Chains A and B, each alone.
Chain A
Amino acid sequence: HSAAVSQHDTGTRTIYFNQPLEEQKFLKNEISTGKYNFVTFLPLFLFEQFRKIFNIFFLIICILQQIPGISPTGKYTTIVPLAFILTVAAIKETVEDYKRHKADGAVNNRKVEIFRDGRFVELAWTEVVVGDIVKVVSGKFFPADLVLLSSSEPQAMCYIETANLDGETNLKIRQGLPATSKIQSTEDMLQVRGMIECETPNRNLYSFTGSIKLHDDRLLPLGPDQILLRGAMLRNTKWIYGVVVYTGHESKLMKNANRAPLKMSNVDRTTNMQIWFLMAILLVISLASAIGSEVWKKETTKRWYLNDTGTGAKGFFMELLTFIILYNNLVPISLLVTLEVVKFIQAIFINSDLDMYHEETDTPAMARTSNLNEELGQVKYIFSDKTGTLTENIMEFKKCSIGGVKYGEFGDGYREDCSDRPNSDFYDEAFIENLQTNSQVRDFLTMMSVCHTVVPERASKYQSSSPDENAIVRAARNLGFVFCVRTPTHVVVRANGKEDSYEVLNVLEFNSTRKRMSVIVRAPDGRILLMCKGADNVIYERLSDKSQFLFETENHLRDYAQDGLRTLCFAQAVLDEADYKVWNDTVYYEASTAVIDRDIKLAHAYEAIEKNLFLLGASAIEDKLQQGVPETIATLAKADIKIWVLTGDKQETAINIAYSTHLINNEMALVLLNDSTAEKTKQTMEEAITEIGQEFLRQENEVALVVTGATLQHALHTDLESTFLDLALSCKAVVCCRVSPMQKAMIVELVKKNCQAITLAIGDGANDVSMIQAAHVGVGISGQEGLQAANSSDYSIAQFCYLQKLLLVHGAWNYNRLTKCILFSFYKNICLYLIELWFAFYNGFSGQILFDRWTISFYNVFFTALPPFTLGLFERTCSSKVMLKYPQLYSISQSASKYNAKVFWAMFLNATIHSLMLFYMPAFSLYNEIAFSNGQVGGYLFLGNFVYTFTVFTVCLKAGLESSTWTILTHIAVWGSFAIWLIFFGVYSHVFSILPLGAEMLGQADIVMSSPVFWLGMLLVPPSVLFRDLLWKVFRRRFRKSVVEEVQEMEMENIDPQKTILAAARQSQTDSDLQLQEERGRSGSLRSLQDTNHGYAFSQEEGGVVSQSDLIRQYNTAAQESS
């Protein structure tokens, strides 16, 4: 086809479009997040596996076993289980990678229209190449980074939603160059030849430099205003044409997506440490045994029956290797694969949880990695994005206050009563009634439908870069004031059956310093009106004495703010014709034509006319929260999880959301960090710290901290870092606004580095990716298309509220299960293989094994393989209902109290005692050797099989004892494992007559089981070994009862456990109650900050490519309205 490209070494790439030139290949527009492909699988997989010290260890054992004469267990007894285990791991990897490839495929196969051979054809995203011209329609994502040529809108404008990229709520405007804006059809397209020169792909989202040349015209500059990035979505614009400049992994979005870092959970790290311990123990006992062997050898040159003087004698080092091989199974070979499989199935449990399935979007929860299942049980800090995570990014006009009267207070109730009404969240009978009688209400509604920069679209939809204005206009429409036409000079409002046309004289634009916007219109009755809406404080300053209900309105605003609603005050003034003329012709004219400091001059000009306003009322807009967000936050707080909100959005919006989610409430003092210099930041922080009090630092105080991105830049500087952390950790709620993706990650890193706590980041957009990757656990919100965060996350869920179940149930369960599984795996191996050490004392440290070599090597993979799985998968101390009801139970896993060095060594000691009992009890039982009534005796393997059988049985029972709940599968694992051993024992004892294998074992099963001593031992040994364990459990339940146990019992007895939990909490925090009261007293002076918050928030693009006042002049929707 007709695209051609070339890339220079100079750091630019040249793209020819619509030109039949030779093609040079760039990256395909295909993304791949999979780890392997067919070719790389085997080498990469082996590399991954043998990067783990664990597997290397067993590989070394395999190699050592090949040295003739030193292995007490033959040549193949490690390589066979190792191969088995690697196979299982390979299957798991394959399944996981297949899923990733499938997810990539779904993205890669999205459809887009590409200009090929003179017409637009719909093709998959993968077909898009650099130099292609594509047509993207409204509501669709851009398939690659594009240079905007033209659009369906005037002057090649288009709206894009970048929430996915930067988390901002408002839409952005992009505008093509005038030279290309004329391309409006396929026919036009055929005529176009062009060349684009631009930078080589880079990761900077906010910059782009290039130039375009059409035909043989001169070069025209291209900037970020012409670029449409992959990951953004076209909105409110029917279509755009764009030239593809960067594709696939070269797109700016993908350049920003680092390959997901390999995360290791806390439990994994602890386990690794313990494996090292075990290896050290292994080395120590091997050394001791080798020394023992040397000592023994010295004394025994006279043992003529041994061939010590012959070829058999070996040096110390060889002896050492023998013992290392002998004891190598002290490190459980099956542990890693057991964990992998357990985690894999745990992930399936997460994936198939119906409570985390979102019906509307058909999205189940998804564990993208299973490495961190148990980390979910240890989370201490949650860093949450706002837009799209806490909120749905939908604004709804909820309430208003006009003339001191509140409307829409019961707005929620209407849906059931009058579902035939237009779909709006605002409805109030009183409002409708007053509309007829009260002129102020009418004025308010008129202002709602006139004072804005919205452009109407067909089918009563509106386009605007401000979601607030959009909500206001929609609400006005639903109340009968339909804004229907915008021409360059007029807006037309249809109300009460007639159309009123307002001439728009001036638009006094919004920006975040002014916190207000105004329009000056000529009303149909000829009056000149100035309508101004904005933050309460800026409006109140400009009210005339005639304004009424100031106090009431302020009260209402406070109420709204408390609910987290976004408020705007509405005011208007009737301008004197002459005054206006003076202002417009001189003050405004001069300012708007000024060459220097135009913005400042304009602001002054606006200031001059925005005065003597008459307060109409106030609006309250709801930034719709996702389902169940406040409840979830409350529950998580009870689980002692701190939630920090990190958003790219504005401070006001962030504070509003903090209120509406009850993260901040009126009881709390508010600390605002909004300083532009390092010194001032430091000063503010230190003041706040003094206010809180040094002794309360890093404890939870009733203080909320709000920081802006600019200040963070200073606060995160090395000098102030610790001060900032001191302050932030002392606050109950932390809200960071206007933060860049990088800052989000830095905050997470800061806490991660300094708090030794597990962090979780949750977000939905590309701007959250870095934070998601930085945190211990990254959670992405899934469900909407193209949500970049979900793809780089460790877990993705469709709704924020699913976090409750994910953490409190799955996390806590998984932690409990996995740690039990790990401890048990260690336990069972120590139990069996330490017996070899005890036996070594009696066989002259020769390295003789007590058991058959294959029974040893199958111990982990068959006979005791199942119990760890039941512990890892089905262990459950409390039901999910209880876990959710009492979030306090989360603290057990959160504090790692069930798995740490102390627990490990206690287990080690216990296992050592068990192995001693398991060796000596059968040994004493067989002391005189006669184990049968026919006078026959056993041998070493006879004893070995006693010990082995008792050990398998004991270990299985121990797994049962460790299980809080017995499912059918637990029974299968406990009794089944033992049965498997008995069956294997029976079969293996007869193999020698068929195969030259297991000569020593021949007939053992028959002989062993015909010995009464065996059965007597079976009845005695396992119970007496586990006697202490059982008694201990009962005693502990009585004397040091854990909260879990208490809750279990109470649930059984139908007593409300809340009391217990409260009592437990109270006991541990007796002092802090007093502190809390003190704090409330102390924080009085801080709170004053918060009284001024009246919930003002407004978002609109600022400083965009097209100013709002220019924008509205470019539309004439009268034509489409009439058609």
Chain B
Amino acid sequence: ITEEKTQKHLPDNTAFKQQRLPAWAPILSAKSTLPIFFIVSIAFVPIGVVLLVTSEAVVEFQYDYTDCIINQSSMTQPCTCVINITLGTSMDGNVYAYYGLTNFFQNHRRYVKSRDDNQLFGVHVATTSVSTSCAPYNLFNDNGTIRPIAPCGAIANSMFNDTFTFSQGSAQVPIVRTGIAWPTDYSVKFNNPFPTNDLDQAFSQYAKPSNWQKPVQSLDRNLSTNNGYKNEAFIVWMRTAAFSHFRKPYGILNRVAGYTNGLPSGQYTLLVDYNFPVTAFGGRKRFILSTTSWMGGKNSFLGVAYIVFGGMCFIGGILLTMIHLHARNTREMSLISRLHH
């Protein structure tokens, strides 16, 4: 008992409290690190080459059609322009059509927040409950009755509404406007309000965004399921881009008869329904066709970066080797001189 009493305050003899946790103490000497540098360089340079080759294999076609009509007057008057396109090489495999915008700040803070995710989730919003973050694109005064705008907000209001008709000779190249949105966006985030089987009724109490020509339930005339908030072009637009220079998917080549291998090279015609005004703020618009590789579109950055980093590691490794050899020499020398003493 006395033993216990006298040792009442004896600290615990645990590895943690006594700071005796087993520890690995790596010494970052030239000798121990130079293999890392060489291994990394040996691994990264080939990866970079593979990535570059992969990127090079991607065929991409871009056309800036901003200036195809000079005298565009107003949003409501549809204009068209016809552009002749020559594909020098064939585009094999899946071909994706994009529209590209430049100097369009989809990443502006007040733009990004100007949406009502609750509304897009399929919840009916009243004039009082439509998100204020949509203001001033939240309510519409329809001859004295205030109605909520569906979909509300600046993003929806400024939705890209040029349409492309791509044809080879007289035959239209089949481009489907679905399969371009993220699966989770399509299946979870964007839902039509009740009743989902009758969109006209579902949206009857709402006003269309002021810049829109057509209400949200009739965005796609060709495919009735691709309407309302579930319209994929709309969903794609709603996911705002990171930079003011961006592209968004327009559609995918339907690889039916004649296009089973992709787009053959040759002459094509692009018919643009020119609705989306960009010249006012100095923006540009592009039409893009691209194939993809396993890692996405054409982008040589990763390949180059891998090669450069691999190369730097190699140089680093060489330097370390030299250092190491030099250090060993000096130590041996000093050892020798010590022995002589």
Partner of A1002, one of B158, B189, B313: B189
Partner of A929, one of B158, B180, B247: B247
Contact (Cβ within 8 A) B309 A933: no
Looking across the interface, which residue of chain A has its beta carbon closest to that of B158? A305
Contact (Cβ within 8 A) B28 A1033: yes
Looking across the interface, which residue of chain A has its beta carbon closest to that of B298? A928
From A526-534, A596-604, A785-793, A962-970, give the one contacting chain B: A962-970
Contact (Cβ within 8 A) A302 B280: yes
Using an 8 Å CB-CB cutoff, how does the interface string of A1038-1075 with B read, 1 for contact, 0 for none?
A: 10000001001100100000000000000000000000
| A842-B243, A934-B179, A936-B182 as given contacts; A302 in contact with B22, CB under 8 Å | no
Contact (Cβ within 8 A) B154 A305: yes
Find residues 233-258 in chain B having any chain A CB closer than 8 Å to their own CB: 236, 239-244, 246-249, 252
Partner of A937, one of B22, B110, B249, B252: B249
Say if the beta carbon of B33 comes within 8 Å of chain A: yes
Say if the beta carbon of B340 comes within 8 Å of chain A: no
Contact (Cβ within 8 A) B302 A1013: yes
Bound-state CA distance A992–B108 (Å) is 23
Contact (Cβ within 8 A) A939 B240: yes
Say if the beta carbon of B171 comes within 8 Å of chain A: no
Partner of B19, one of A880, A993, A1035: A880
Contact (Cβ within 8 A) B185 A1003: yes
Smallest beta-carbon distance A747→chain B, Å? 34
Interface size in chain B (residues, C-beta < 8 A): 94
Looking across the interface, which residue of chain A has its beta carbon closest to that of B5? A362
Chain B residues with CB below 8 A from A928, complex form: 60, 247, 296-299
Say if the beta carbon of B40 comes within 8 Å of chain A: yes
Contact (Cβ within 8 A) A1038 B327: yes
Bound-state CA distance A1020–B306 (Å) is 7
Smallest beta-carbon distance A116→chain B, Å? 30
Find residues 917-933 in chain A having any chain B CB closer than 8 Å to their own CB: 921, 923-933
Contact (Cβ within 8 A) B11 A351: yes
From B112-120, B196-204, B221-229, B267-275, give the one contacting chain A: B112-120
From A688-696, A734-742, A1023-1031, give the one contacting chain B: A1023-1031
Say if the beta carbon of B18 comes within 8 Å of chain A: yes
Partner of A933, one of B106, B137, B185, B294: B294
Bound-state CA distance A965–B181 (Å) is 48
Contact (Cβ within 8 A) A992 B29: no
Contact (Cβ within 8 A) B108 A1034: no
Chain B residues with CB below 8 A from A926, complex form: 242, 299
Contact (Cβ within 8 A) A1016 B302: yes
Smallest beta-carbon distance A131→chain B, Å? 37
Say if the beta carbon of A1006 comes within 8 Å of chain B: yes
| A874-B21, A876-B23, A927-B301 as given contacts; A848 in contact with B108, CB under 8 Å | yes
Contact (Cβ within 8 A) B302 A1007: no
Q: Which 10 residue pairs across A and B have the least CB separation, nearest first?
A: A1003-B184, A930-B297, A352-B11, A305-B158, A935-B96, A999-B117, A846-B109, A848-B109, A940-B242, A965-B23
| A362-B7, A968-B21, A1038-B30 as given contacts; A940 in contact with B302, CB under 8 Å | no
Looking across the interface, which residue of chain B has its beta carbon closest to that of A1052? B27
| A966-B26, A1049-B29 as given contacts; A848 in contact with B112, CB under 8 Å | yes
Say if the beta carbon of A996 comes within 8 Å of chain B: yes
Contact (Cβ within 8 A) B33 A1030: yes
Smallest beta-carbon distance A288→chain B, Å? 17
Contact (Cβ within 8 A) A842 B188: no
| A353-B18, A940-B107, A1048-B27 as given contacts; A935 in contact with B252, CB under 8 Å | yes
Say if the beta carbon of B192 comes within 8 Å of chain A: no
| A353-B11, A1006-B184 as given contacts; A1023 in contact with B242, CB under 8 Å | no
Partner of A305, one of B27, B28, B104, B135: B104
| A304-B281, A306-B111, A1023-B40 as given contacts; A1017 in contact with B18, CB under 8 Å | no
Contact (Cβ within 8 A) A965 B25: yes
Say if the beta carbon of B17 comes within 8 Å of chain A: yes
Contact (Cβ within 8 A) B11 A1016: no
Say if the beta carbon of A496 comes within 8 Å of chain B: no
| A1003-B189, A1049-B29 as given contacts; A1034 in contact with B320, CB under 8 Å | yes
Chain A residues with CB below 8 A from B341, complex form: none
Chain A residues with CB below 8 A from B108, complex form: 306, 843-844, 846, 848
Apart from the given pairs A306-B105, A351-B11, A935-B297, 15 other A-B contacts in the complex at a CB distance below 8 Å: A305-B111, A305-B154, A310-B135, A352-B18, A357-B9, A357-B10, A843-B107, A874-B21, A934-B94, A966-B24, A1002-B188, A1024-B312, A1033-B28, A1048-B25, A1049-B27
Say if the beta carbon of B145 comes within 8 Å of chain A: no
Looking across the interface, which residue of chain B has its beta carbon closest to that of A304? B280
Partner of B248, one of A311, A312, A359, A937: A937
Using an 8 Å CB-CB cutoff, how does the interface string of B110-147 with A read, 1 for contact, 0 for none?
A: 11101001100100000000000001110000000000
Contact (Cβ within 8 A) B25 A933: no
| A305-B158, A364-B10 as given contacts; A1020 in contact with B309, CB under 8 Å | yes
Say if the beta carbon of A348 comes within 8 Å of chain B: yes
Chain A residues with CB below 8 A from B112, complex form: 848, 940
Chain A residues with CB below 8 A from B242, complex form: 842, 850, 923, 926, 938-940, 942-944
Chain B residues with CB below 8 A from A304, complex form: 158, 277, 280-281
Contact (Cβ within 8 A) A363 B294: no
Bound-state CA distance A1023–B312 (Å) is 12
Say if the beta carbon of A404 comes within 8 Å of chain B: no
Say if the beta carbon of A1012 comes within 8 Å of chain B: yes
Contact (Cβ within 8 A) A935 B9: no
Contact (Cβ within 8 A) A1002 B281: no
Smallest beta-carbon distance A1036→chain B, Å? 9
Partner of B299, one of A311, A353, A927, A965: A927
Chain B residues with CB below 8 A from A349, complex form: 17, 19
Smallest beta-carbon distance A241→chain B, Å? 32
Contact (Cβ within 8 A) A306 B11: no
Say if the beta carbon of A887 comes within 8 Å of chain B: no
Bound-state CA distance A362–B10 (Å) is 7
Find residues 91-107 in chain B having any chain A CB closer than 8 Å to their own CB: 94, 96, 98, 104-107
Contact (Cβ within 8 A) B13 A364: no
Using an 8 Å CB-CB cutoff, how does the interface string of B269-291 with A read, 1 for contact, 0 for none?
A: 00000000100110000000010
Looking across the interface, which residue of chain B has its beta carbon closest to that of A308? B110
Chain A residues with CB below 8 A from B52, complex form: none
Q: Could you say which of B137, B298, B299 has the most chain A C-beta atoms within 10 Å of its C-beta?
A: B299
Say if the beta carbon of A303 comes within 8 Å of chain B: yes
Using an 8 Å CB-CB cutoff, how does the interface string of B78-95 with A read, 1 for contact, 0 for none?
A: 000000000000000010
Bound-state CA distance A932–B296 (Å) is 4
Bound-state CA distance A1086–B118 (Å) is 91
Chain A residues with CB below 8 A from B189, complex form: 992, 999, 1002-1003
Chain A residues with CB below 8 A from B105, complex form: 303, 306, 843-844, 846
Contact (Cβ within 8 A) A300 B281: yes
Say if the beta carbon of B213 comes within 8 Å of chain A: no
| A930-B292, A1027-B316 as given contacts; A842 in contact with B107, CB under 8 Å | yes
Bound-state CA distance A885–B108 (Å) is 61
Bound-state CA distance A304–B280 (Å) is 8
Bound-state CA distance A942–B182 (Å) is 12
Looking across the interface, which residue of chain B has its beta carbon closest to that of A301? B281
| A925-B299, A940-B112 as given contacts; A842 in contact with B294, CB under 8 Å | no
Contact (Cβ within 8 A) A1034 B29: yes
Say if the beta carbon of A547 comes within 8 Å of chain B: no
Bound-state CA distance A964–B28 (Å) is 9
Say if the beta carbon of B183 comes within 8 Å of chain A: yes
Bound-state CA distance A1087–B175 (Å) is 104
Chain A residues with CB below 8 A from B302, complex form: 925, 1013, 1016-1017, 1020
Chain A residues with CB below 8 A from B118, complex form: 996
Smallest beta-carbon distance A346→chain B, Å? 10
| A307-B154, A353-B18, A965-B25 as given contacts; A933 in contact with B295, CB under 8 Å | yes
Partner of A930, one of B6, B96, B316: B96
Chain B residues with CB below 8 A from A970, complex form: 23
Looking across the interface, which residue of chain A has its beta carbon closest to that of B96? A935
